[in-house]
Amino acid sequence: MIQGKIWKFGNDVDTDVIIPARYLNVSAESELAKNCFADIRPDFAGAVSAGDILVAGKNFGCGSSREHAPIAIKAAGIRAIVAESFARIFYRNAFNIGLPLLESVEASKALSDGENAVIDLAAGRIEGKGQVFSARPIPDFMAELIDAGGLVDYIRKVKIGR
């Protein structure tokens, strides 16, 4: 179960907005986290708490294929993202680093900034505003990636045995 405060964003949030290009020369996750959404929501990095949930509209993570974007979001403390839809490369990059994503048009439209929500990834269940919303549950293999911390850690732990 994931439980946290909602950070709400709109449609077509691109990777340049998630982590502006001027911070791409940084590889330390903590530095990326400090600059997450720096240009559109400067208060985000200082106010987000570990376990919070990001909710967005359509096409979240569009733009370039940089892994910096999901890394910055996860490093900032976001435990899951719920959106109407995700850009294909962002979707794959997020799971590769162990950041779960759920698609739910209803939850995306109903949930508001600052409210609390609870997510059951295995069931594809999102609770908030006194309502229950459904999303397609994360497939078992993708859940294993999340549990391991991402693709690289999954390969190290499961396939190599480290």
pLDDT at 162: 61
pLDDT at 55: 98
pLDDT at 136: 87
Amino acid letter, residue 56: A
This prediction has a pTM of 0.94
Rounded CA gap, 154 and 62, in Å? 26
**Under CATH, which architecture does the 2-160 domain have?**
Alpha-Beta Barrel (3.20)
Domain residue ranges of the chain, discontinuous segments joined by +: 2-160
pLDDT at 98: 96
pLDDT at 5: 98
pLDDT at 40: 95
Residues lower than pLDDT 70 in the chain:
159-162
Structure confidence by residue, pLDDT tens digits, 53-64: 999 999 999 998
Rounded CA gap, 95 and 150, in Å? 6
Q: What is the DSSP string of 59-125?
A: SBTBS---THHHHHHHHHT--EEEES-B-HHHHHHHHHTT--EEE-HHHHHH--TT-EEEEETTTTE
- Residue with token string 């390969």: 155
Percent of the chain at pLDDT above 70? 98
pLDDT at 27: 85
